[in-house]
Amino acid sequence: MTEPTRRAVVPGLAVASLAAASLAATGVAAPFLSGRALGQGEGRNTRRFSLEDVDRRARDLAKAPFDPREPALPPPLAGLDYDAWRDIRFRPAKAFLGAEGSPFRLQLFHLGFLYKRPVTVSLIRGGVATSIPYQASLFDFGRIHLDKPLPVDLGFAGIRLHTTLNKPNVLDELITFVGASYYRFLGRDQLYGLSARGLAVNVEGAGGPEEFPFFREFWVEVPEKAAEACVVYALLDGPSVTGAYRFTVQPGDETVVSVEARLHPRRDLDGIGLAPLTSMYFIGENDRAFSDDYRPELHDSDGLLIAAGSGEWIWRPLDNPASRRLSAFADTNPRGFGLMQRDRSFEDYQDLEAGYHRRPSCFVETAGSWGEGSVVLMELPTNTETGDNIVAWWRPKQPYRAGEPVSVAYRVRAMAAGTRLHGGATVANTYVVGAAASGAAPASDPRAAPAGKPLSRRFLIDFTGGDLAYYMPDPALVEVVASTGQGTIVATSITPNPHIAGFRAAVDVRLDGAGQSTELRAYLRAGNRTLSETWTYAWAAA
C-alpha cells in the first residue's frame, strides 16, 4: 500500500461548490434509459429488485476467475491528468431523479485519468432496474476537444448524489462513489476529509500486495417525493472476493449511511478488513516533527475511538510515525469504532482554505454479532498533508473460507462538533513532553534515545466533559489510573483545568533504552467509578 495509490483513488472532491446548483435554476431532464431491465418477473406478481438480485450476481461472479484487464480508454481520455479529468463536469440540468420530484439528484463521473475501469449505472423504478446508457451530452468537457464521438458503450467512472443539505433551495453534494470501493459523504456544514470503503483486502501486506476490490455496477432507487433517504446497491469485484452491497443514505446534521453487505470469497481470506476508514494525519499537538509550518495542526482526523464489546471506550491519538506502525485492539463483538476529528476550532489549524475544523468524524456502529477479532490501526509516515496515511478497520479473527458467504451489517455516521457518543469524559488533548519529572535529559528527537540508556517522557492528557465539573472543587477525589506494557510508570499527577472544565493528567514513563516500545493506558477514576474513556498511546524509544 502506498500513499499515492490511496490519494489517487480518492481525489480531492471537496470542490462540492462546483456541483452545487440552485433548485430554482436547475431544470432536471427526464433520463433516457435503455438496456436490460432487472427485477422484472413473469405475470402479474412482479418481483421487485432487491439485494437478492445483486447477491445472485456476486455469487455467480465469484465462481468465475477474476478478470484483471482494464479496457484501453480512447484518446484523448487515456492521457488526461487529474486537473484535466476534473474539468469534465456533469451537466447539472441533466441530473437524474428530479423528474419524479425526488429531493435527491444523481450525477455521474466520467472515465479518464486513473479511472479507466467502466462501471454500469442503473435506475430502479417501480422495482425494475434499467441501465443508463453513456451519452457524451451528459457532460461538459471544458477544454478537452473531442475529434470524434466517444463509444456509446463507454460507461462511467462512478456516481454522486446531491440534495438540499445546507439550504432549502441549494443542492449540495451528499455522497460520492468513485475509485475502487471508496465513498465519501457529508453532514450539514461539513467538508470532505476522510473516506470510507466497501472492503479492504490485505492492508497489512502479509500475504502479498494490498488488493483494491472495486464496485463495478451501481443501482440507484428512485426515491419518492417525501423520501428522507436514498438507496444505492453496488456489486463488488476483486481478485479474492466479490460482494453485494446495499447503502441507505440518510442526510442531515449527521448524515448516516447504513450498509448491508454479502461477501463471497474466491479464496481463503485471513487479511480481510471490514468497514475500513482512510484518513490523513500530518501534524498535531502530540506530533511536531514538521514544526516549520505556520499552521499548528494539519489533519483530517486526530484519533481512533473504539466502543469495545465490554463497554469500555478507548481513545488513541493518531501519530505521524517514523516508520509504519500497526496497532491491533483485540475485542469480541465490538460496538463500534471510528476516526474522529476532535479539534474543531479554526485556531487549531489557522488554515483559511482547507477548513480542517469542518472535516467530519466517521464512526462505524456494528449490527449483529461480529465475533472475535481486532480493530486495527495503520499509521504511515508522511512528509506532506496530501498523503492519506491512516487506515482503520475490523479484522475478524477467523479467516473467511472460499465459497462460504459472509453477511455483515453496520452504519457509518458523519459527525460534526459537539456529538457525544458516551457519557464519560473524553480526551481533548495529548502532549508529549521532552522528559519526565524524573530528571532525564531531553533527547534532540523525542522518538530517539542513546542506546542502553533509560528514556523518560511525560505525557499530558486533558480530559473534559462527563461529570468532571462536579469533581473540580475537590480534585483529590480523582485519581489517574495508568499502566504500561513495557518500562515503568514513574509518577502520575492530576490538576484541574478550568479552561476545558476538566482535568489535566500527567503520566511520567521510563523505558530502559533504545529499541523498546510500549503501549500506555490511562483513565480517570473516583473511588470505584470510572469517569473517562481510556487513553492509549504507542510510544517507541527509537
Q: Are 389 and 4 in contact (CB under 8 A)?
A: no
Question: Does residue 105 lie within any of the structural domains?
Answer: no
Counted residue by residue, the chain has a size of: 542
Report residue 518 as a C-alpha cell: 510500549
Q: Is 229 exposed, middle or buried (0-12, 13-18, 19+ CB in 10 A)?
A: middle
DSSP string of 159-173, one letter each residue: EEEEEEEEETTEEEE
The domain in which residue 512 lies consists of 426-540
Q: Are 131 and 34 in contact (CB under 8 A)?
A: yes
- The strand ranges marked E within 6-127 are 21-22, 89-90, 104-109, 120-125
Return the pLDDT at 31.
Answer: 31
Instruction: Indicate the residue type of 160.
Output: R
3-state secondary structure 42-53: CCCCCCCCCHHH
Return the pLDDT at 189.
Answer: 95
Domain count, the chain: 1
**Would strands 200-201 and 272-279 be described as parallel, antiparallel, or unpaired?**
antiparallel
How does DSSP classify residue 517? E
Return the pLDDT at 15.
Answer: 37
Question: Does residue 437 lie within any of the structural domains?
Answer: yes
pLDDT digits (tens, 9 = 90+) for 199-233: 999 999 877 889 999 999 999 999 989 899 999 99
The Cα 109–Cα 408 span in angstroms is 28
Any idea what the Cα angle at residue 196 is, between residues 195 and 198, rounded to 5°? 145
pTM over 0.85: yes
The answer, yes or no, to whether the previous bond of 399 is cis (omega within 30 of 0) is no
Return the pLDDT at 437.
Answer: 52
The per-residue b/e assignment along 444-462, b for 16 or more CB within 10 angstroms, e otherwise, is eebbebeeeebbbbbbbbb
Query: Which residues of the chain register pLDDT less than 50?
Result: 1-36, 41-44, 438-452
Return the pLDDT at 38.
Answer: 53
Return the pLDDT at 436.
Answer: 60
pLDDT digits (tens, 9 = 90+) for 241-255: 999 999 999 999 999
The Cα 166–Cα 358 span in angstroms is 14
Return the pLDDT at 455.
Answer: 86
Query: How many Å from the N-terminal Cα to the C-terminal Cα in the chain?
Result: 24
**Would strands 336-340 and 313-317 be described as parallel, antiparallel, or unpaired?**
unpaired
Return the pLDDT at 101.
Answer: 86
Question: Does residue 293 lie within any of the structural domains?
Answer: no
Nearest to 363 by CA among 393, 339, 342, 383: 339
Pure H helices in 22-172: 51-62, 82-86
Q: Are 472 and 525 in contact (CB under 8 A)?
A: no
Q: Is 470 exposed, middle or buried (0-12, 13-18, 19+ CB in 10 A)?
A: exposed
pLDDT digits (tens, 9 = 90+) for 468-489: 999 999 999 999 999 999 999 9
Return the pLDDT at 542.
Answer: 57
Beta partners for residue 501, in sequence order: none
Nearest to 202 by CA among 443, 10, 30, 395: 395
Q: Is 407 exposed, middle or buried (0-12, 13-18, 19+ CB in 10 A)?
A: exposed
Question: Does residue 147 lie within any of the structural domains?
Answer: no
The Cα 151–Cα 538 span in angstroms is 53
Measured torsion, CA atoms of residues 27, 30, 33, 39, in degrees rounded to the nearest 10: 110
**Would strands 406-415 and 426-433 be described as parallel, antiparallel, or unpaired?**
unpaired
3-state helix, strand, coil in the chain (%, to 5): 10, 40, 45
The Cα 31–Cα 361 span in angstroms is 35
CATH number of the domain to which 505 belongs: 2.60.40.10
Question: Does residue 59 lie within any of the structural domains?
Answer: no
Nearest to 477 by CA among 501, 500, 458, 496: 496
Question: Does residue 303 lie within any of the structural domains?
Answer: no
Question: Does residue 397 lie within any of the structural domains?
Answer: no
Question: Does residue 464 lie within any of the structural domains?
Answer: yes
